[in-house]
Amino acid sequence: MANQHLKSILITGAILIVAPILVLADEVQDGRAIQLRQEAKQKREVLMQEFKARRETFKAEAQKRVDALKKKFGEERAKRIDQFFNQMVKKFENAIDRLNNLADRIESRLNKTEAAGNDVTKIKDQLKSVRDKISAAETALNDAKAKFAGMAASPDPKTAFAQVKVLVKGVTAIVKGAHKALVDVVNSIKGLRLGDKATSTESR
C-alpha cells in the first residue's frame, strides 16, 4: 500500500516537473515561428520597396527613352512603340499587385487559423513558393524593362526589340504560373476554418 502511495507521489511529481518544461518548449517554438514570420515579412517589404523604386525610375525616364527611340524610328513610331510597351508593363504590374494582395490576405487567414490550433505548415510552404514566383515575375519584368530601355542604343534595334518580346513572353509564363500556384493554395485551404468569411472570397 505504501509502495503504491509512493509511486503515485512520484508520478505526480514527475508530471509537475515535466509539464512546465513542455509548456516552455511550446512557447519557445511559438515565439520562434512568430519571429520567422516577422523576418520574412520584413524581407518582403524591403523587396517590394525596391521593386516600387524601380517602377518609379522606369516611369521617370519615359521621355528619355522616347527621345532615344526617335533617332532610330522617327517621332511617331517611337511614341507608339513606347506606349505599346508601357501598356504591357502596366498590365503586368497590375497583375503582380493583385497576386501580392491576394497572397497577403491568404497569409492573414492562415495566421488566424494557425493561432486557433490548426496545422497549416504545408500550406504556408505552398504560399512561400507562390511569393517566390511573384518575385520572379517582377524580376523578369525588370529585365524586360532594362532591355527595352537599352534598345535605342543597340546597333540592331529590331533584333533588340525581338529579344524584348521574348522576355515579355517569359514574364507572361511566370505570372500565369504564380496565379495557378495561388489557386492551388486556395484549394488547399478550402477545408479549413479561416474566420467568418468563406475562402471562396479569395478565389474570386
What's the confidence (pLDDT) of residue 199? Answer: 42
CA distance linking residue 12 with residue 16, whole number of Å: 6
Q: What DSSP designation does 9 have? A: H
Q: Cell 512557447 maps to which residue? A: 27
C-alpha cell at 44: 518582403
C-alpha cell at 76: 511617331
Contacts of 69 (CB under 8 A, 6+ apart): 77, 78, 81, 82, 151, 152
Q: Where are the domains of the chain?
A: 1-60, 62-204
Q: Which of 90, 107, 91, 94 is nearest to 44 (CA)?
A: 107
What's the confidence (pLDDT) of residue 30? Answer: 57
Q: What is the mean pLDDT of each run of 10 residues along the chain (204 residues)?
A: 56 54 51 66 76 83 83 83 90 94 92 86 92 94 90 82 88 94 89 49 41
Cα-based angle 199, 196, 113 (whole degrees, multiple of 5): 70
Residue 80, SS3 per DSSP: helix
CA distance linking residue 164 with residue 185, whole number of Å: 32
What's the confidence (pLDDT) of residue 36? Answer: 61
Residues in the chain: 204
